[in-house]
Structure 1
Amino acid sequence: MTTKTDYIGRFAPSPSGPLHFGSLVAALGSYLQARSQQGQWLVRMEDLDPPREMPGAADDILRTLEAYGLHWDGTVIYQSQRHPVYQGQIDTWLSQGQAYYCRCSRKQIKEAGGFYPGTCRDQQLPAADSAIRLRMTQPVTAFTDQLHGQIAIPRALAEEDFIIRRRDGLFAYNLAVVLDDIEQGVTEVVRGADLIEPTGRQISLYRQLGQQEVSYVHLPLAVTTNGNKLSKQNHAPAIDKQHPKPALLAAMRFLGMRPDDDLMASSLAEILRWGGENWQLEKLPKTTAITLETEL
């Protein structure tokens, strides 16, 4: 159990486009949880996938957070600068026989039932044109979410040897995020409910590394009336950097808070201070998605 003095939370966007309302909900939720615990709030840029990144997006995201009064602690970490760390851990696992090369295609895995059956585990394949998988020695079939309670994970998914470096040489999200959270001392991850599924794999990595796992809070996603989540891929509109208060207060209401209308006349610092003082996990909507009735 963490105390109020050692709480470290974080917001870790990918620079594939500007922040939208769904991003703001995730940023604000993680920020208020950290500040309500008198803890630190870090920002990390998850720039692992260059083909999906938008030029200038990383800087735009940071300027947007500043415009909304969401000031982070410490230095922003960029995953693109941490490749040697990820590769070093992979090399250790390869030398220990805990990781191995795999050439199975998505089509082959689909034909095998949708879960990787360990085809290449003992084949001693060469590195060329191969992905790298981790032998699953610590399968996690359930975890406790601080908002949603016990979350079950299908056994076939939990026991799957998953990819830690792709065939194209890019490092896998699950590996990078866990190594970074350990490096930064993160104690709790507050993020969108779209990331519930990989949580079991991330917990298994903590255990395989012999590290204390973090706790998790998965916030409800903002979805449109046609059921699509707000995302950069779905061309969700960027939030307004020039007039941040309406979206900030809307995000608070989305998260189950009830800010008074007169807060609109307050400064961003005062609005966020009110948010930190009134933030309570037990008052968050216990759902994984909320439909937005109006455009933001």
Structure 2
Amino acid sequence: MSLALSTTRFAPSPTGRLHLGHAMSAVLSHDFARARGGRFLLRIEDIDSGRAREEHIAGIEEDLCWLGLLWDGPAVRQSRRLALYSEALERLKQRGLIYPCFCTRADIARSATAPHGPEGPLYPGTCRGLAAPDLDRPHAWRLDMVKAMALAGPLEWYDEQAGIVTARPDLLGDVVLARKDAPVSYHLAVTVDDAAQGVTDVIRGRDLFAATHVHRLLQDLLTLPTPDYHHHALLIGTDGERLAKRHGAMALADLRAQGVDPKEIVAALHEGRAPLGFRLSGD
């Protein structure tokens, strides 16, 4: 488990303004590092060039400053780290652990043989083992989960709430590591970045708990260190849904415009309470 000096990170995607759910992760990450005399890093996950916006990056920094959260060093942008991801992908490719996939989401959804996992329908393996794939066609790169797990063997990781967790990346199937529309996926980028930045403790919402199974496998395959994980409860709105951009969660910028005192938000989160009348998942 983590000792005194810890490095945490807050890693939002600049596809919209931050909301209270983001604030919770940022405050908890900031507090964890500062309580241990460690570093709190800001990483901008802007690999989705079709949706990432410069104004949202500026907004993220503005919102964090409004909350009184200062990060160490310059913010790191994933879009400037593509060579690192390409190198990791190539290492997996050379070991025969990834394969090109030409299927669309609609193809997978229509497949009667696609089982469901924690993140939705699992890939049924349509392109696995293609004899002569045409790499001139648009394609993603998927991890051959059976091969990868056989090579890695049994794996574990530590979560503050769950304790020692046996890794079950097979629950997510042959995940995408490089997308058709982007040179890398979330799974690979976050694993490579956390190691490269020396992150010792990953503090994020419980909605990403299942993804950690895959990240633990990738850490083993790429010979990367495994941080400790702290998956916190999620903020739930009055509609019973977790706060998310796609659910139209009110932005911190809107709260600021309404005159909300950021100290009230931060104080509640410091104490493990949901601010402004929201509630925590599990309450």
Q: Do the aligned partners of residues 96 and 288 (structure 1) sit closer, same or farther apart at CA in structure 2, a change above 3 Å counting? A: farther
Equivalent position amino acid for 1:98 in 2: L
Describe the superposition over 1:60-115 as per-residue Cα deviations: whole angstroms up to 9, x where unpaired.
Answer: 11122122221111221001111222122222322332221112333443422232
CA–CA distance in structure 1, aligned partners of residues 245 and 198 of structure 2: 29
How far apart, CA to CA, are the structure 1 residues paired with 2:262 and 2:74? 24
Change (3 A) 1:155 1:82: closer
- TM-score when scaled to structure 1? 0.78
Partner Cα separation in structure 1 for residue 123 and residue 29 of structure 2: 34
Are the structure 2 counterparts of residues 52 and 23 from structure 1 closer, same or farther at C-alpha, using a change threshold of 3 Å?
same
> Secondary structure, in 3 states, of the residue corresponding to 1:226?
coil
For 1:66-105, what aligned pairs fall within 5 Å after superposition? 66-105=65-104
1:279 aligns with none
2:229 is paired with a residue of what secondary structure?
A: strand
Tell me the SS of whatever aligns to 2:70: coil
* Consecutive unaligned residues in structure 2, runs of 5 or more: 115-120
Cα distance between partner residues in 1 of 2:280 and 2:134 = 42
* Alignment of 1:2 onto 2:9: no
Matched, 1:44 2:43: yes
Distance 2:213 2:280 in 1: 17
The alignment-based identity, stated in percent, is: 33
What amino acid does structure 1 have at the position aligned with 2:127? Answer: C
Supply the distance in 2 between the matched residues of 1:59 and 1:230 (Cα, whole angstroms): 21
SS in 1 for 2:210: coil
Consecutive unaligned residues of structure 1, counting only runs of 5 or more, are 258-286, 292-296
Does the Cα contact within 8 Å between 1:21 and 1:251 map onto a contact in 2?
Answer: no
- TM-score, normalised relative to structure 2: 0.82
User: 16-25 vs 87-96, which deviates more?
Assistant: 87-96
The structural deviation recorded for 1:290 is 5.5
Identify the residue that residue 135 of structure 1 maps to in structure 2.
144
Q: How many residues align?
A: 259
Deviations along 1:133-164, whole A, 9 cap, x unmatched? Answer: 12231377864421233557767425x22111
RMSD of the TM alignment (CA)?
2.6
Distance in 1, matches of 2:182 and 2:35, equals 40
- 1:45 CA displacement: 0.5
